[in-house]
Amino acid sequence: MPKGNASVFDSPQVRFLLRMPLPRAWSNHIGRKLLRFLLTIQGLGAFALITLGVMLTKFRLARRVVWPLVFHEISRAGLRLLPMFAFLSAALGLLVIGQAVSWLTRVGAINYLGTIMVLVVVRELGPLLAALLVLARVGTANVIELGTARALGEVEALEALVIDPVHYLVMPRVIGMAVGVFSLTVYLILGALVSGYLWAFLQNVPLRPSDYFQQLTGSLDVLDFAFLALKTLAFGFIIAIVTCYHGLAQPLRLEEISYATIRAVAQSVIACVLIDALFIVVYLAT
């Protein structure tokens, strides 16, 4: 997309510098990495803003075409991953409870079982795991689909038909992934809490369901729900933005798609972890 790419870093001089064979030196290695990092941040930021702008201004435009795509993406990034998440929630409940029970019984602190579930599953592992799995299952497919479409000239075809590629290709994916990660996280957490109790029950922990439920509610507050919603929506948004950016934003050749996929996955993981860290900081501050 040639429209919004004018920038300080993204000049032919900088591009040349990044390709130039320089002598091996730490300073130049770090310098290149830093320039690439800044370029990526700038590109991603611009792409995110463009997408948000399109979502705000064109939300109702051509809705008989775009809204079915939104539902399709929600189904792809949410509904169709449910079986895997059912399995995963059972496993997550087992591994958290399994570890916690063995330690808590030794120190006589079995009353904290619910608290630990909230700390580990609700606040941290649940959202992050859901985001990473959606990235692995749908995000990678995103880069490959869009990268192929870009390399085969389908994006130019959209432009020639006066269809905004961001509106037609990116917006459904962003909404689909944000809703998908959010809903899957909710199901994952609910599943893990239930399976956690079942595993505790099987390990003969003397804990009534009502006590367990009270432990859970006691360690949750309103902020947890707000943060969970915000965090998972942010995960979904950022994964969609990073994967769409790497698939669409630069002209790709077919042989470059695998590299674009690798970059997109690495950057999505880093972005998700950074958002998670940001939420911890905010959480500790409140």
Partner 1 sequence: MKEQTTSSGPLIEMAGVSVGALRDQSTLMAEGVNWTVSGGDYWVIAGLQGSGKSDFLMMTAGLMAPAAGNYTLFGEQMPIFDEARLPIRQRIGLVFDGGQLFNHLTVSENVALPLRYHRNLSAWQANERVQQWLEALELGPWADSTPGALGRNWQKRVGLARALVLEPEVLLIDNPLGGVDFRHINWWLGFLDVLGRGHPLLGGKPVTLVASTADLRRWRGRARQFAILRDRQFVVLGTWQQVESASDELLHELLMTEAVKE
Contacting positions for partner 1 (CB under 8 A): 2-3, 12, 57, 61-65, 145, 148-149, 152-154, 156-157, 159-163, 168, 251
- Least distance in angstroms from the C-beta of 12 to partner 1: 7
Burial readout 195-205 (b: 16 or more C-beta within 10 A, e: otherwise)? bbbebbeeeeb
Which parts of the chain are beta strand (E)? none
Residues 6 or more apart whose CB falls under 8 angstroms from that of 104 comprise 110, 112, 113, 116
Closest CB to partner 1 among 159 and 221?
A: 159
Closest CB to partner 1 among 181 and 252?
A: 252
CB 48 within 8 A of CB 241: yes
Closest CB to partner 1 among 218 and 251?
A: 251
- Least distance in angstroms from the C-beta of 3 to partner 1: 6
Phi, psi of 26 (to 5 degrees): -60, -40
Closest CB to partner 1 among 52 and 86?
A: 52
- Least distance in angstroms from the C-beta of 54 to partner 1: 10
- Least distance in angstroms from the C-beta of 249 to partner 1: 14
**Alpha carbon separation from 111 to 91, 116, 192 (Å, rounded):** 22, 10, 18
Closest CB to partner 1 among 25 and 162?
A: 162
- Least distance in angstroms from the C-beta of 76 to partner 1: 12
Residue with tokens 């602190």: 109
Phi, psi of 208 (to 5 degrees): -80, 150
Say how many C-beta atoms besides its own lie within 10 A of residue 93's C-beta: 24
Closest CB to partner 1 among 90 and 163?
A: 163
- Least distance in angstroms from the C-beta of 251 to partner 1: 5
CB 6 within 8 A of CB 46: no
